[in-house]
């Protein structure tokens, strides 16, 4: 989905810009990302896509992202 973006997006730059934003903007981004993913049709499609992304990350990168799915009472490794 392009939403009027007329040129290729520099995803590395977008990631760097997002990292410099506050938690409110970062949460808004992630909520929009999740909402769009869930519009694809099935949860399985979303899980498969995220599994492919996960496979392209290093173990250190996955460890950094682990707090995104942390729930109280869950052990942090």
Residue-number span of the structural domain to which 50 is assigned: 11-68
The pLDDT of residue 7: 80
**How many angstroms separate the CA atoms of 63 and 55, rounded?**
13
Q: What is the mean pLDDT of each successive set of 10 residues along the chain, which is 77 residues long?
A: 71 96 97 94 95 97 91 72
**Considering the domain boundaries, does residue 76 fall inside one?**
no
**Considering the domain boundaries, does residue 50 fall inside one?**
yes
The pLDDT of residue 9: 87
**Considering the domain boundaries, does residue 30 fall inside one?**
yes
The pLDDT of residue 16: 97
The pLDDT of residue 38: 93
Q: Count structural domains, the chain.
A: 1
> How is residue 36 written in tokens?
């769009």
């Amino acid at each position: 989905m392009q939403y009027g973006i007329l040129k290729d997006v520099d995803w590395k730059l977008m990631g760097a810009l997002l990292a410099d934003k506050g938690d409110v903007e970062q949460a808004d981004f992630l909520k929009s990302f999740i909402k769009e993913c869930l519009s694809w049709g099935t949860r399985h499609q979303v899980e498969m896509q995220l599994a492919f992304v996960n496979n392209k990350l290093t173990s250190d990168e996955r460890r950094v992202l682990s707090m995104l799915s942390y729930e109280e009472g869950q052990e942090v490794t």
